Amino acid sequence: DTGVSQDPRHKITKRGQNVTFRCDPISEHNRLYWYRQTLGQGPEFLTYFQNEAQLEKSRLLSDRFSAERPKGSFSTLEIQRTEQGDSAMYLCASSFSPGLGPILVSPLHFGNGTRLTVT
Amino acid sequence: DAKTTQPNSMESNEEEPVHLPCNHSTISGTDYIHWYRQLPSQGPEYVIHGLTSNVNNRMASLAIAEDRKSSTLILHRATLRDAAVYYCILGQGGTSYGKLTFGQGTILTVHP
């Protein structure tokens, strides 16, 4: 189990620039989640995928944010025209859902996040 | 979403048991009780979850009140590595699971 991997660990960008983060989930996990965490607060849900389908997006995810998971494996989160308020830790998590029949609760495995600083 | 209430901070001594409380008076019948913790500079880590019965695993125990309006995470022997923010979260199983609503959690300090 290599765990959830996120890249880069840190990103500093100037306001108005675009940034893209990558998440590699645990290989057998079909669900992938993105969360955002600001200093002193708990993580906030942004969006999640079941395989390649994006099933839910939070209203926190403005039009400047887009997430993809093209082949149901890794995922990218892009922020366009960054603003200072986008500065946060962006966390990725994965889990397994059997999808059919009784659905079990599968714990989320989080990566260590990408810390974004917008100057 | 049903909400949880936790103390902002707690302190413990190393090798002593720690009882972390969580109130969730508006819990629904289908809500699971989840605990995650977050060590400094790391992502959250799953600790334990339960629905109605008490649960034990290698990390901790979860004691759930009979009316399910409160629960307690028990660390049997705290170590310095247990110093973290502990989150008590309510969430449904099934397709809704994973969309977890984290609060501010309890900051646990462990003294040597």
pLDDT tens digits for A63-86?
A: 999 999 998 899 999 999 999 999
Q: Looking at residue A101, what is its pLDDT?
A: 46
Q: Mean pLDDT across the stretch B73-86?
A: 97
Q: Looking at residue A60, what is its pLDDT?
A: 84
- Whether B40 and chain A come into contact, CB under 8 Å, resolves to no
**pLDDT above 90: residue B28:** no
- Whether B57 and chain A come into contact, CB under 8 Å, resolves to no
Question: Taking CA atoms, what residue in B is nearest to A50?
Answer: B95
* d(C-alpha A66, C-alpha A51), whole Å: 16
* d(C-alpha B74, C-alpha A59), whole Å: 35
Q: Give A-chain residues touching B98 at CB under 8 angstroms.
A: 31, 33, 48, 93, 95, 97, 108
Closest CA to B33 of B12, B8, B60, B58: B60
User: Closest to B45 (Cβ–Cβ): which among A48, A97, A110?
Assistant: A110
Identify the band that residue B46 occupies on the pLDDT scale cut at 50, 70 and 90. very high
Q: Give A-chain residues touching B33 at CB under 8 angstroms.
A: none
Interchain proximity A45–B49, CB inside 8 Å: no
Q: Give B-chain residues touching A24 at CB under 8 angstroms.
A: none
Q: Give A-chain residues touching B104 at CB under 8 angstroms.
A: 40-42
Read off the tokens for A39.
């200093």
Of A61-65, A87-91, B60-64, give the lowest mean pLDDT range.
Answer: A61-65
Give the helix, strand, coil percentages of chain A, each rounded to 5. 5, 45, 50
User: Closest to B98 (Cβ–Cβ): which among A4, A40, A95?
Assistant: A95
Q: Determine if residue B36 is left, alpha or beta; phi over 0 gives left, psi from -120 to 50 gives alpha, anything else beta.
A: beta
Closest-CA distance of chain A to residue B15, Å: 27
* d(C-alpha B33, C-alpha B6), whole Å: 13
Q: Which residues contact B59 (CB under 8 A, 6 or more apart)?
A: B47, B48, B75
